[in-house]
Chains A and B, each alone.
Chain A
Amino acid sequence: MRKLHVLALTLVTLVALTAAACGGDEEPEDAAPATQATVAEPDPCAKDQLNLVTPGQLTIGTDNPAFPPWFQDAEGAPWDPTTEPTKQGYEAAVAYAVAAELGFSDGEVAWTVVPFDNAFRPGPKDFDFDINQVSYTEERDGAVDFSDSYYDVQQAIVTLKNSEYANATTLTEFDGAKLGVPVGTTSFDVIESTIQPGEDPAVFNTLNDAVNALKNRQVDGIVVDLPTSFFITAVQVPKGKIVGQVPSETQEYFGLVFEEGNSLRDCVNEALAALRENGTLDQIEQEWITDKANAPVLG
Protein backbone atom coordinates (compact mmCIF):
# COMPACT_ATOMS: atom_id res chain seq x y z
CA MET A 1 0.00 0.00 0.00
CA ARG A 2 2.89 2.35 0.76
CA LYS A 3 4.21 1.97 -2.78
CA LEU A 4 0.83 2.96 -4.19
CA HIS A 5 0.81 6.07 -2.01
CA VAL A 6 4.23 7.12 -3.25
CA LEU A 7 3.20 6.58 -6.84
CA ALA A 8 0.00 8.56 -6.38
CA LEU A 9 1.87 11.44 -4.74
CA THR A 10 4.39 11.50 -7.58
CA LEU A 11 1.61 11.59 -10.16
CA VAL A 12 -0.20 14.45 -8.43
CA THR A 13 3.02 16.49 -8.15
CA LEU A 14 3.89 15.95 -11.80
CA VAL A 15 0.41 16.88 -12.99
CA ALA A 16 0.59 20.05 -10.91
CA LEU A 17 3.93 20.94 -12.47
CA THR A 18 2.55 20.43 -15.97
CA ALA A 19 -0.43 22.63 -15.23
CA ALA A 20 1.83 25.36 -13.88
CA ALA A 21 4.06 25.27 -16.95
CA CYS A 22 1.19 25.41 -19.39
CA GLY A 23 -0.47 28.17 -17.44
CA GLY A 24 2.49 30.53 -17.61
CA ASP A 25 1.66 32.47 -20.71
CA GLU A 26 3.32 35.80 -20.02
CA GLU A 27 3.85 37.90 -23.08
CA PRO A 28 5.86 41.11 -22.71
CA GLU A 29 3.45 43.97 -22.33
CA ASP A 30 3.51 46.54 -25.07
CA ALA A 31 3.61 50.21 -24.22
CA ALA A 32 0.15 51.37 -23.33
CA PRO A 33 -1.35 53.36 -26.17
CA ALA A 34 -1.89 56.96 -25.26
CA THR A 35 -5.22 58.62 -25.57
CA GLN A 36 -5.78 60.12 -28.99
CA ALA A 37 -7.17 63.58 -29.44
CA THR A 38 -7.96 63.13 -33.15
CA VAL A 39 -10.06 60.50 -34.86
CA ALA A 40 -7.51 60.03 -37.67
CA GLU A 41 -5.23 56.95 -37.68
CA PRO A 42 -2.34 57.50 -35.22
CA ASP A 43 1.21 57.80 -36.59
CA PRO A 44 2.82 54.43 -35.78
CA CYS A 45 6.13 56.18 -35.15
CA ALA A 46 4.80 58.78 -32.83
CA LYS A 47 6.72 58.72 -29.63
CA ASP A 48 3.81 57.43 -27.63
CA GLN A 49 3.07 54.67 -30.18
CA LEU A 50 6.52 53.15 -30.16
CA ASN A 51 7.13 49.62 -28.97
CA LEU A 52 9.42 50.21 -26.02
CA VAL A 53 10.80 48.17 -23.16
CA THR A 54 10.05 50.98 -20.74
CA PRO A 55 7.34 53.37 -21.91
CA GLY A 56 8.49 56.95 -22.35
CA GLN A 57 12.18 55.94 -22.37
CA LEU A 58 14.53 54.85 -25.09
CA THR A 59 16.73 52.08 -23.70
CA ILE A 60 19.91 51.63 -25.72
CA GLY A 61 22.40 48.84 -25.23
CA THR A 62 26.14 48.69 -25.86
CA ASP A 63 29.15 46.75 -24.56
CA ASN A 64 31.37 47.58 -21.60
CA PRO A 65 33.85 49.16 -22.11
CA ALA A 66 32.80 51.00 -25.23
CA PHE A 67 35.86 52.04 -27.24
CA PRO A 68 36.70 55.23 -29.10
CA PRO A 69 35.98 56.48 -31.67
CA TRP A 70 32.56 54.91 -31.11
CA PHE A 71 32.18 56.03 -27.50
CA GLN A 72 34.44 57.99 -25.25
CA ASP A 73 34.22 59.67 -21.89
CA ALA A 74 35.19 63.26 -21.05
CA GLU A 75 38.90 62.37 -21.07
CA GLY A 76 38.74 60.60 -24.39
CA ALA A 77 39.11 57.17 -22.78
CA PRO A 78 36.80 54.16 -23.33
CA TRP A 79 33.38 54.72 -21.79
CA ASP A 80 31.64 52.64 -19.12
CA PRO A 81 27.86 52.58 -19.76
CA THR A 82 27.16 52.13 -16.06
CA THR A 83 28.59 55.58 -15.40
CA GLU A 84 27.44 58.99 -16.54
CA PRO A 85 26.15 58.98 -20.12
CA THR A 86 28.28 60.50 -22.84
CA LYS A 87 27.44 62.07 -26.19
CA GLN A 88 31.04 61.81 -27.34
CA GLY A 89 31.91 59.32 -29.99
CA TYR A 90 30.41 58.34 -33.32
CA GLU A 91 27.93 55.78 -32.02
CA ALA A 92 27.01 57.96 -29.04
CA ALA A 93 26.27 60.86 -31.37
CA VAL A 94 24.25 58.69 -33.76
CA ALA A 95 22.27 57.19 -30.89
CA TYR A 96 21.28 60.58 -29.47
CA ALA A 97 20.54 61.89 -32.99
CA VAL A 98 18.17 58.98 -33.63
CA ALA A 99 16.58 59.47 -30.20
CA ALA A 100 16.00 63.14 -30.96
CA GLU A 101 14.47 62.27 -34.35
CA LEU A 102 12.07 59.94 -32.58
CA GLY A 103 11.12 62.67 -30.14
CA PHE A 104 13.14 61.73 -27.07
CA SER A 105 14.99 64.34 -25.08
CA ASP A 106 18.49 63.54 -23.85
CA GLY A 107 17.09 62.84 -20.42
CA GLU A 108 14.74 60.22 -21.81
CA VAL A 109 17.60 58.09 -23.12
CA ALA A 110 18.83 55.31 -20.86
CA TRP A 111 21.85 53.05 -21.39
CA THR A 112 22.27 49.42 -20.51
CA VAL A 113 25.25 47.07 -20.79
CA VAL A 114 24.75 44.34 -23.36
CA PRO A 115 27.73 42.01 -23.82
CA PHE A 116 28.05 40.94 -27.41
CA ASP A 117 26.69 37.40 -26.84
CA ASN A 118 23.63 38.74 -25.05
CA ALA A 119 22.45 40.82 -28.01
CA PHE A 120 20.98 37.79 -29.68
CA ARG A 121 20.03 35.44 -26.87
CA PRO A 122 16.50 34.10 -27.01
CA GLY A 123 13.73 35.66 -24.99
CA PRO A 124 12.56 39.24 -24.70
CA LYS A 125 15.32 41.84 -24.90
CA ASP A 126 15.93 44.37 -22.17
CA PHE A 127 16.93 47.04 -24.66
CA ASP A 128 15.08 48.80 -27.47
CA PHE A 129 18.09 48.61 -29.74
CA ASP A 130 21.76 47.69 -29.39
CA ILE A 131 24.51 49.79 -30.96
CA ASN A 132 27.88 48.00 -30.84
CA GLN A 133 29.57 47.89 -34.25
CA VAL A 134 27.45 44.91 -35.22
CA SER A 135 27.74 44.16 -38.90
CA TYR A 136 24.70 43.03 -40.81
CA THR A 137 24.89 39.49 -42.22
CA GLU A 138 22.12 37.40 -43.68
CA GLU A 139 22.70 34.64 -41.13
CA ARG A 140 22.45 37.05 -38.26
CA ASP A 141 19.32 38.56 -39.69
CA GLY A 142 17.57 35.27 -39.02
CA ALA A 143 17.85 35.74 -35.28
CA VAL A 144 17.40 39.50 -34.88
CA ASP A 145 16.29 42.48 -36.93
CA PHE A 146 18.80 45.04 -38.22
CA SER A 147 18.24 48.66 -39.02
CA ASP A 148 19.62 50.14 -42.21
CA SER A 149 23.24 51.21 -42.19
CA TYR A 150 24.33 53.84 -39.75
CA TYR A 151 27.93 53.42 -40.85
CA ASP A 152 29.43 51.83 -43.93
CA VAL A 153 32.46 50.03 -42.65
CA GLN A 154 35.83 49.22 -44.12
CA GLN A 155 38.22 46.72 -42.63
CA ALA A 156 41.85 47.68 -42.17
CA ILE A 157 45.08 45.88 -41.34
CA VAL A 158 47.28 47.24 -38.56
CA THR A 159 50.88 46.13 -38.07
CA LEU A 160 53.85 47.38 -36.09
CA LYS A 161 55.87 50.03 -37.91
CA ASN A 162 58.92 47.75 -38.12
CA SER A 163 56.97 44.70 -39.28
CA GLU A 164 57.95 43.04 -42.52
CA TYR A 165 54.37 43.58 -43.65
CA ALA A 166 54.22 47.26 -42.76
CA ASN A 167 54.80 48.45 -46.29
CA ALA A 168 52.64 45.99 -48.15
CA THR A 169 50.49 47.46 -50.88
CA THR A 170 48.73 44.31 -52.05
CA LEU A 171 46.95 41.53 -50.23
CA THR A 172 49.22 38.85 -51.66
CA GLU A 173 52.11 40.36 -49.73
CA PHE A 174 50.41 39.07 -46.58
CA ASP A 175 51.08 35.48 -47.53
CA GLY A 176 52.31 33.65 -44.45
CA ALA A 177 51.31 36.44 -42.08
CA LYS A 178 49.74 35.50 -38.78
CA LEU A 179 46.79 37.84 -38.33
CA GLY A 180 44.64 38.37 -35.26
CA VAL A 181 41.06 39.52 -34.66
CA PRO A 182 38.71 39.93 -31.71
CA VAL A 183 36.07 37.20 -31.59
CA GLY A 184 32.67 37.74 -33.09
CA THR A 185 33.75 40.30 -35.66
CA THR A 186 33.34 40.00 -39.37
CA SER A 187 37.06 40.71 -39.57
CA PHE A 188 37.54 36.97 -39.13
CA ASP A 189 35.61 36.28 -42.32
CA VAL A 190 37.60 38.98 -44.09
CA ILE A 191 40.82 37.16 -43.27
CA GLU A 192 39.48 33.83 -44.41
CA SER A 193 37.75 34.97 -47.57
CA THR A 194 39.59 38.07 -48.79
CA ILE A 195 43.09 38.31 -47.37
CA GLN A 196 43.76 34.57 -47.27
CA PRO A 197 47.25 34.67 -45.79
CA GLY A 198 47.51 30.89 -45.58
CA GLU A 199 48.12 30.98 -41.82
CA ASP A 200 45.30 30.28 -39.39
CA PRO A 201 44.14 33.51 -37.79
CA ALA A 202 44.44 34.04 -34.06
CA VAL A 203 41.18 34.94 -32.33
CA PHE A 204 41.00 36.82 -29.05
CA ASN A 205 38.33 37.44 -26.45
CA THR A 206 38.62 41.19 -26.56
CA LEU A 207 40.10 43.92 -28.69
CA ASN A 208 42.62 44.59 -25.93
CA ASP A 209 43.93 41.06 -26.10
CA ALA A 210 44.37 41.31 -29.87
CA VAL A 211 46.23 44.58 -29.43
CA ASN A 212 48.45 43.02 -26.77
CA ALA A 213 49.31 40.19 -29.09
CA LEU A 214 50.28 42.71 -31.72
CA LYS A 215 52.53 44.56 -29.30
CA ASN A 216 54.14 41.30 -28.22
CA ARG A 217 54.72 40.39 -31.85
CA GLN A 218 52.71 37.23 -31.30
CA VAL A 219 50.74 38.19 -34.40
CA ASP A 220 52.06 40.01 -37.46
CA GLY A 221 49.00 42.21 -37.75
CA ILE A 222 45.41 42.63 -36.64
CA VAL A 223 42.31 43.26 -38.70
CA VAL A 224 39.74 45.69 -37.34
CA ASP A 225 37.31 48.20 -38.73
CA LEU A 226 38.96 51.37 -40.01
CA PRO A 227 37.81 53.78 -37.26
CA THR A 228 38.99 51.40 -34.56
CA SER A 229 42.33 51.11 -36.33
CA PHE A 230 42.74 54.90 -35.96
CA PHE A 231 42.15 54.66 -32.25
CA ILE A 232 44.63 51.81 -31.95
CA THR A 233 47.48 53.50 -33.78
CA ALA A 234 46.82 56.87 -32.20
CA VAL A 235 46.46 55.78 -28.61
CA GLN A 236 47.09 52.12 -27.81
CA VAL A 237 49.98 51.22 -30.10
CA PRO A 238 51.91 54.34 -31.10
CA LYS A 239 54.41 52.05 -32.82
CA GLY A 240 51.57 50.70 -34.92
CA LYS A 241 50.75 51.54 -38.48
CA ILE A 242 47.63 51.22 -40.59
CA VAL A 243 48.91 49.37 -43.64
CA GLY A 244 45.75 49.86 -45.58
CA GLN A 245 42.08 49.11 -46.08
CA VAL A 246 40.93 45.70 -47.23
CA PRO A 247 38.85 45.92 -50.37
CA SER A 248 35.55 44.06 -50.40
CA GLU A 249 32.98 43.23 -53.04
CA THR A 250 29.96 43.92 -50.88
CA GLN A 251 29.72 46.99 -48.69
CA GLU A 252 29.73 45.89 -45.09
CA TYR A 253 27.71 48.07 -42.76
CA PHE A 254 26.85 48.46 -39.12
CA GLY A 255 23.21 48.22 -38.15
CA LEU A 256 21.32 48.75 -34.95
CA VAL A 257 20.15 45.44 -33.49
CA PHE A 258 16.49 44.93 -32.62
CA GLU A 259 14.46 42.06 -31.25
CA GLU A 260 13.03 40.08 -34.13
CA GLY A 261 9.75 41.56 -35.30
CA ASN A 262 10.06 44.76 -33.31
CA SER A 263 8.11 47.45 -35.13
CA LEU A 264 10.42 50.07 -33.64
CA ARG A 265 12.96 49.10 -36.31
CA ASP A 266 10.94 50.66 -39.11
CA CYS A 267 10.58 53.89 -37.18
CA VAL A 268 14.30 54.00 -36.54
CA ASN A 269 14.96 53.41 -40.24
CA GLU A 270 12.84 56.43 -40.99
CA ALA A 271 14.85 58.42 -38.48
CA LEU A 272 18.15 57.26 -40.01
CA ALA A 273 16.94 58.17 -43.49
CA ALA A 274 16.10 61.64 -42.26
CA LEU A 275 19.50 62.04 -40.58
CA ARG A 276 21.27 60.91 -43.71
CA GLU A 277 19.27 63.30 -45.89
CA ASN A 278 19.80 66.35 -43.75
CA GLY A 279 23.53 65.70 -43.49
CA THR A 280 23.64 64.92 -39.76
CA LEU A 281 25.31 61.56 -40.30
CA ASP A 282 28.01 63.14 -42.45
CA GLN A 283 28.56 65.78 -39.84
CA ILE A 284 28.95 63.19 -37.11
CA GLU A 285 31.38 61.27 -39.25
CA GLN A 286 33.46 64.37 -39.90
CA GLU A 287 33.63 65.04 -36.21
CA TRP A 288 34.56 61.56 -35.00
CA ILE A 289 36.03 59.57 -37.83
CA THR A 290 38.84 61.47 -39.46
CA ASP A 291 41.59 60.79 -41.97
CA LYS A 292 39.61 58.19 -43.83
CA ALA A 293 41.39 59.10 -46.98
CA ASN A 294 44.83 58.53 -45.50
CA ALA A 295 44.51 54.79 -45.38
CA PRO A 296 45.19 53.41 -48.86
CA VAL A 297 43.15 50.54 -50.18
CA LEU A 298 45.24 47.39 -50.55
CA GLY A 299 45.33 45.80 -53.97
Chain B
Amino acid sequence: MRASGTSGGRSILIALASTVLFAVVVVLVVSNAPGWPEVQRQFFNGGLFRESLGVIPEAFFLNVRIFLIAEVVILVFALVLAILRSLEGPVFFPLRALAIVYADFFRGIPTILVIYMLGFGAPALQISGIPRDPLFWGVVALVLVYSAYVSEVYRAGIESVHPSQAAAARSLGLSRAQALRFVILPQAVRRVMPPLLNDFIGLQKDTALVALLGPVEAFRQSQIEVAANFNYTPYLVTALLFVLLTIPLARLTDWLVARERRSRLALGAAR
Protein backbone atom coordinates (compact mmCIF):
# COMPACT_ATOMS: atom_id res chain seq x y z
CA MET B 1 0.00 0.00 0.00
CA ARG B 2 1.40 3.35 -1.01
CA ALA B 3 1.42 6.10 1.57
CA SER B 4 -1.30 8.60 0.56
CA GLY B 5 1.14 11.50 0.80
CA THR B 6 3.26 10.60 -2.19
CA SER B 7 0.38 9.54 -4.44
CA GLY B 8 -1.42 12.81 -3.58
CA GLY B 9 1.58 14.88 -4.61
CA ARG B 10 2.01 12.97 -7.83
CA SER B 11 -1.59 13.42 -8.93
CA ILE B 12 -1.29 17.17 -8.34
CA LEU B 13 1.79 17.24 -10.54
CA ILE B 14 0.06 15.29 -13.28
CA ALA B 15 -2.99 17.57 -13.07
CA LEU B 16 -0.78 20.65 -13.28
CA ALA B 17 1.25 19.29 -16.16
CA SER B 18 -1.78 18.27 -18.21
CA THR B 19 -3.46 21.64 -17.61
CA VAL B 20 -0.38 23.54 -18.76
CA LEU B 21 -0.06 21.22 -21.74
CA PHE B 22 -3.70 21.78 -22.66
CA ALA B 23 -3.34 25.55 -22.42
CA VAL B 24 -0.21 25.50 -24.57
CA VAL B 25 -1.94 23.42 -27.21
CA VAL B 26 -4.99 25.71 -27.30
CA VAL B 27 -2.75 28.73 -27.76
CA LEU B 28 -0.80 26.94 -30.49
CA VAL B 29 -3.95 25.87 -32.33
CA VAL B 30 -5.53 29.31 -32.22
CA SER B 31 -2.47 31.34 -33.10
CA ASN B 32 -1.61 29.06 -36.01
CA ALA B 33 -5.08 29.18 -37.50
CA PRO B 34 -4.99 30.89 -40.88
CA GLY B 35 -7.54 33.52 -39.93
CA TRP B 36 -5.94 34.41 -36.63
CA PRO B 37 -4.21 37.67 -37.62
CA GLU B 38 -7.47 39.09 -38.89
CA VAL B 39 -9.43 37.89 -35.87
CA GLN B 40 -6.81 39.36 -33.60
CA ARG B 41 -7.03 42.67 -35.42
CA GLN B 42 -10.83 42.71 -35.32
CA PHE B 43 -11.34 41.55 -31.74
CA PHE B 44 -8.18 42.25 -29.82
CA ASN B 45 -6.97 45.61 -31.07
CA GLY B 46 -4.86 47.10 -28.29
CA GLY B 47 -5.15 50.74 -29.35
CA LEU B 48 -8.91 50.63 -29.74
CA PHE B 49 -9.16 48.75 -26.45
CA ARG B 50 -7.47 51.61 -24.63
CA GLU B 51 -9.56 54.15 -26.50
CA SER B 52 -12.79 52.41 -25.55
CA LEU B 53 -11.71 52.26 -21.92
CA GLY B 54 -11.98 56.02 -21.97
CA VAL B 55 -15.59 56.02 -23.15
CA ILE B 56 -17.43 52.87 -22.18
CA PRO B 57 -17.03 52.87 -18.36
CA GLU B 58 -18.91 56.16 -18.22
CA ALA B 59 -21.83 54.59 -20.07
CA PHE B 60 -21.53 51.62 -17.72
CA PHE B 61 -22.58 53.84 -14.84
CA LEU B 62 -25.98 53.98 -16.44
CA ASN B 63 -26.23 50.20 -16.22
CA VAL B 64 -25.19 50.39 -12.58
CA ARG B 65 -27.80 53.03 -11.78
CA ILE B 66 -30.48 51.05 -13.57
CA PHE B 67 -29.85 47.81 -11.76
CA LEU B 68 -29.45 49.43 -8.35
CA ILE B 69 -32.81 51.18 -8.65
CA ALA B 70 -34.52 48.22 -10.24
CA GLU B 71 -33.19 45.71 -7.73
CA VAL B 72 -34.48 47.64 -4.73
CA VAL B 73 -37.95 47.87 -6.22
CA ILE B 74 -37.87 44.24 -7.33
CA LEU B 75 -36.97 42.96 -3.87
CA VAL B 76 -39.94 44.77 -2.36
CA PHE B 77 -42.50 44.14 -5.09
CA ALA B 78 -41.62 40.46 -5.40
CA LEU B 79 -42.05 40.05 -1.64
CA VAL B 80 -45.53 41.54 -1.88
CA LEU B 81 -46.37 39.09 -4.67
CA ALA B 82 -45.03 36.14 -2.68
CA ILE B 83 -47.03 37.12 0.38
CA LEU B 84 -50.18 37.55 -1.71
CA ARG B 85 -49.63 34.09 -3.07
CA SER B 86 -49.30 32.62 0.45
CA LEU B 87 -52.54 34.08 1.84
CA GLU B 88 -54.85 31.32 2.93
CA GLY B 89 -58.58 31.12 2.93
CA PRO B 90 -61.29 31.48 0.29
CA VAL B 91 -61.72 35.21 0.83
CA PHE B 92 -58.20 35.80 -0.49
CA PHE B 93 -58.62 33.73 -3.62
CA PRO B 94 -58.69 36.68 -6.06
CA LEU B 95 -55.38 37.98 -4.70
CA ARG B 96 -53.78 34.56 -4.86
CA ALA B 97 -55.02 34.05 -8.40
CA LEU B 98 -53.70 37.47 -9.40
CA ALA B 99 -50.27 36.66 -8.04
CA ILE B 100 -50.20 33.31 -9.86
CA VAL B 101 -51.28 34.80 -13.19
CA TYR B 102 -48.75 37.58 -12.80
CA ALA B 103 -45.87 35.21 -12.14
CA ASP B 104 -46.81 32.94 -15.04
CA PHE B 105 -47.28 35.77 -17.50
CA PHE B 106 -44.15 37.77 -16.77
CA ARG B 107 -41.94 34.73 -16.60
CA GLY B 108 -43.31 33.55 -19.92
CA ILE B 109 -43.08 36.70 -21.96
CA PRO B 110 -39.64 37.62 -23.37
CA THR B 111 -38.14 40.60 -21.59
CA ILE B 112 -37.43 42.37 -24.88
CA LEU B 113 -41.12 42.38 -25.74
CA VAL B 114 -42.07 43.89 -22.40
CA ILE B 115 -39.49 46.61 -22.87
CA TYR B 116 -40.67 47.42 -26.37
CA MET B 117 -44.36 47.36 -25.52
CA LEU B 118 -43.99 49.53 -22.46
CA GLY B 119 -41.22 51.76 -23.72
CA PHE B 120 -42.82 52.58 -27.06
CA GLY B 121 -46.39 51.54 -26.47
CA ALA B 122 -47.23 53.32 -23.23
CA PRO B 123 -46.11 56.78 -24.33
CA ALA B 124 -47.82 56.26 -27.69
CA LEU B 125 -51.18 56.10 -25.91
CA GLN B 126 -50.73 59.83 -25.35
CA ILE B 127 -52.57 59.71 -22.03
CA SER B 128 -51.57 62.83 -20.17
CA GLY B 129 -49.71 62.12 -16.97
CA ILE B 130 -48.04 58.97 -18.29
CA PRO B 131 -44.31 59.54 -18.29
CA ARG B 132 -42.52 59.39 -21.63
CA ASP B 133 -39.03 58.91 -20.28
CA PRO B 134 -37.60 55.72 -21.86
CA LEU B 135 -35.39 55.12 -18.85
CA PHE B 136 -38.47 55.08 -16.64
CA TRP B 137 -40.24 52.52 -18.78
CA GLY B 138 -37.10 50.43 -19.18
CA VAL B 139 -36.76 50.16 -15.41
CA VAL B 140 -40.48 49.44 -15.05
CA ALA B 141 -40.25 46.65 -17.61
CA LEU B 142 -37.27 45.09 -15.85
CA VAL B 143 -39.03 45.36 -12.50
CA LEU B 144 -42.20 43.71 -13.81
CA VAL B 145 -40.32 40.81 -15.37
CA TYR B 146 -37.80 40.15 -12.64
CA SER B 147 -40.31 40.47 -9.82
CA ALA B 148 -42.07 37.47 -11.28
CA TYR B 149 -38.92 35.36 -11.00
CA VAL B 150 -37.90 36.70 -7.61
CA SER B 151 -41.38 36.19 -6.15
CA GLU B 152 -41.07 32.51 -6.96
CA VAL B 153 -37.72 32.43 -5.22
CA TYR B 154 -39.25 34.05 -2.14
CA ARG B 155 -42.10 31.57 -2.26
CA ALA B 156 -39.68 28.68 -2.30
CA GLY B 157 -37.93 30.22 0.67
CA ILE B 158 -41.12 30.70 2.63
CA GLU B 159 -42.25 27.18 1.95
CA SER B 160 -38.88 25.80 2.96
CA VAL B 161 -39.26 27.12 6.49
CA HIS B 162 -40.64 24.22 8.51
CA PRO B 163 -44.29 24.67 9.47
CA SER B 164 -43.38 24.04 13.09
CA GLN B 165 -41.74 27.46 13.12
CA ALA B 166 -45.02 29.06 12.18
CA ALA B 167 -46.82 26.88 14.72
CA ALA B 168 -44.42 27.93 17.47
CA ALA B 169 -44.81 31.59 16.57
CA ARG B 170 -48.61 31.43 16.45
CA SER B 171 -48.67 29.51 19.72
CA LEU B 172 -47.02 32.44 21.43
CA GLY B 173 -49.92 34.61 20.39
CA LEU B 174 -48.30 36.22 17.35
CA SER B 175 -50.74 37.02 14.57
CA ARG B 176 -50.26 35.59 11.10
CA ALA B 177 -48.72 38.82 9.92
CA GLN B 178 -46.42 39.05 12.91
CA ALA B 179 -45.31 35.44 12.53
CA LEU B 180 -44.59 36.09 8.85
CA ARG B 181 -42.70 39.26 9.55
CA PHE B 182 -40.59 38.26 12.54
CA VAL B 183 -40.17 34.51 12.19
CA ILE B 184 -40.87 33.17 8.70
CA LEU B 185 -39.58 35.86 6.37
CA PRO B 186 -36.24 36.45 8.08
CA GLN B 187 -35.52 32.74 7.80
CA ALA B 188 -36.93 32.45 4.29
CA VAL B 189 -34.89 35.32 2.92
CA ARG B 190 -31.67 34.04 4.49
CA ARG B 191 -32.19 30.69 2.84
CA VAL B 192 -32.77 31.99 -0.66
CA MET B 193 -30.00 34.54 -0.78
CA PRO B 194 -28.03 32.51 -3.33
CA PRO B 195 -30.85 32.28 -5.90
CA LEU B 196 -31.76 35.91 -5.16
CA LEU B 197 -28.23 36.98 -5.97
CA ASN B 198 -28.32 34.82 -9.08
CA ASP B 199 -31.34 36.71 -10.34
CA PHE B 200 -29.60 39.95 -9.46
CA ILE B 201 -26.61 39.00 -11.58
CA GLY B 202 -28.97 38.20 -14.46
CA LEU B 203 -30.61 41.59 -14.00
CA GLN B 204 -27.26 43.33 -14.32
CA LYS B 205 -26.84 42.01 -17.82
CA ASP B 206 -30.42 42.63 -18.84
CA THR B 207 -29.96 46.33 -18.12
CA ALA B 208 -28.42 46.42 -21.61
CA LEU B 209 -31.93 45.88 -23.00
CA VAL B 210 -32.90 49.37 -21.90
CA ALA B 211 -30.74 50.58 -24.78
CA LEU B 212 -33.50 49.48 -27.11
CA LEU B 213 -35.42 52.53 -25.99
CA GLY B 214 -32.68 55.01 -26.62
CA PRO B 215 -30.53 55.51 -23.50
CA VAL B 216 -26.89 54.90 -24.25
CA GLU B 217 -25.65 52.34 -21.75
CA ALA B 218 -22.43 50.33 -21.93
CA PHE B 219 -23.44 47.81 -24.58
CA ARG B 220 -24.90 50.46 -26.85
CA GLN B 221 -21.86 52.66 -26.36
CA SER B 222 -19.64 49.79 -27.39
CA GLN B 223 -21.93 49.20 -30.39
CA ILE B 224 -21.42 52.81 -31.42
CA GLU B 225 -17.66 52.41 -31.13
CA VAL B 226 -17.79 49.17 -33.09
CA ALA B 227 -19.77 50.74 -35.93
CA ALA B 228 -17.54 53.78 -36.05
CA ASN B 229 -14.37 51.76 -36.30
CA PHE B 230 -15.62 48.61 -38.00
CA ASN B 231 -13.87 46.70 -35.23
CA TYR B 232 -15.33 44.49 -32.50
CA THR B 233 -12.76 45.20 -29.79
CA PRO B 234 -15.03 47.59 -27.85
CA TYR B 235 -17.38 44.67 -27.20
CA LEU B 236 -14.52 43.08 -25.31
CA VAL B 237 -14.27 46.08 -23.02
CA THR B 238 -17.97 45.87 -22.17
CA ALA B 239 -17.75 42.14 -21.61
CA LEU B 240 -14.86 42.69 -19.23
CA LEU B 241 -16.73 45.33 -17.27
CA PHE B 242 -19.72 43.05 -16.77
CA VAL B 243 -17.56 40.15 -15.70
CA LEU B 244 -15.59 42.29 -13.25
CA LEU B 245 -18.88 43.34 -11.71
CA THR B 246 -20.15 39.80 -11.45
CA ILE B 247 -17.12 38.25 -9.77
CA PRO B 248 -17.42 39.95 -6.37
CA LEU B 249 -21.12 39.17 -6.30
CA ALA B 250 -20.50 35.53 -7.14
CA ARG B 251 -17.96 35.25 -4.32
CA LEU B 252 -20.36 36.95 -1.96
CA THR B 253 -22.98 34.38 -2.89
CA ASP B 254 -20.57 31.52 -2.23
CA TRP B 255 -19.70 32.96 1.15
CA LEU B 256 -23.34 33.33 2.12
CA VAL B 257 -24.14 29.77 1.05
CA ALA B 258 -21.24 28.43 3.09
CA ARG B 259 -22.30 30.39 6.14
CA GLU B 260 -25.91 29.26 5.84
CA ARG B 261 -24.86 25.64 5.50
CA ARG B 262 -22.64 25.84 8.57
CA SER B 263 -25.34 27.24 10.80
CA ARG B 264 -27.99 24.82 9.56
CA LEU B 265 -25.74 21.81 10.13
CA ALA B 266 -25.08 23.01 13.65
CA LEU B 267 -28.77 23.46 14.34
CA GLY B 268 -29.58 20.00 13.07
CA ALA B 269 -26.89 18.42 15.18
CA ALA B 270 -28.07 19.82 18.46
CA ARG B 271 -30.96 17.45 18.84
Contacts and interface: CB of A to CB of B under 8 A. Distances in A.
Q: Touching in the complex, A and B, CB below 8 A?
A: yes
Interface string A170-196: 000000000010011110110000000
B49 to A, nearest CB: 14
B132 interface: yes
B223 interface: yes
Nearest to B31: A21
Interface class of chain B by DSSP? helix
Interface in A212-268: 212-213, 215-219
Interface residues of A, number: 47
A39 interface: no
A186 B43 CA distance: 22
A33 interface: no
A219 B33 contact: no
Contacts of A117: 226-227
Contacts of B232: 121
Given A27-B34, A180-B214, A202-B215, A17 B25 contact: yes
A120 B32 CA distance: 22
A213 B134 contact: yes
Contact of A137 (B215, B220, B228): B228
Contacts of B18: 7, 10
Nearest to B125: A216
Nearest to A14: B25
Nearest to B119: A218
A3 B17 CA distance: 13
Nearest to A184: B227
Given A21-B33, A216-B132, A7 B14 contact: yes
Nearest to B133: A218
A144 B220 CA distance: 22
B57 to A, nearest CB: 15
A152 B133 CA distance: 35
B255 interface: no
A18 B216 contact: no
Nearest to B51: A139
Interface string A108-138: 0000000011011111000000000000010
B216 A143 contact: no
A29 B38 CA distance: 18
Interface in A192-213: 200-205, 209, 212-213
B41 interface: yes
**Central interface residue in B35, B132, B133, B227, by most chain A CB within 10 Å:** B227
Nearest to A212: B120
Interface in B202-229: 211-216, 220, 223-224, 226-229
B260 to A, nearest CB: 38
B228 A140 contact: yes
Interface string A138-152: 011011100000000
Nearest to B220: A203
A27 B35 CA distance: 10
A202 B42 contact: no
A116 B230 CA distance: 10
B231 interface: yes
Interface in B23-43: 25, 28-30, 32-35, 38-39, 41-43
A139 B21 CA distance: 39
B22 interface: yes
A22 B224 contact: no
B123 interface: yes
B124 interface: yes
Nearest to A10: B18
Contacts of B213: 202, 204, 209, 213, 218
Contact of B123 (A3, A137, A144, A216): A216
A14 B232 CA distance: 30
Given A24-B34, A205-B212, A18 B29 contact: yes
A26 interface: yes
A11 interface: yes
Given A203-B214, A209-B120, A140 B230 contact: yes
A25 B35 contact: no
Nearest to B131: A218
Q: Ordered nearest first, which 4 A-B pairs have the shortest CB separation?
A: A202-B214, A184-B227, A143-B230, A120-B230
Interface of B: 11, 14, 17-18, 21-22, 25, 28-30, 32-35, 38-39, 41-43, 120, 123-124, 132-134, 211-216, 220, 223-224, 226-232
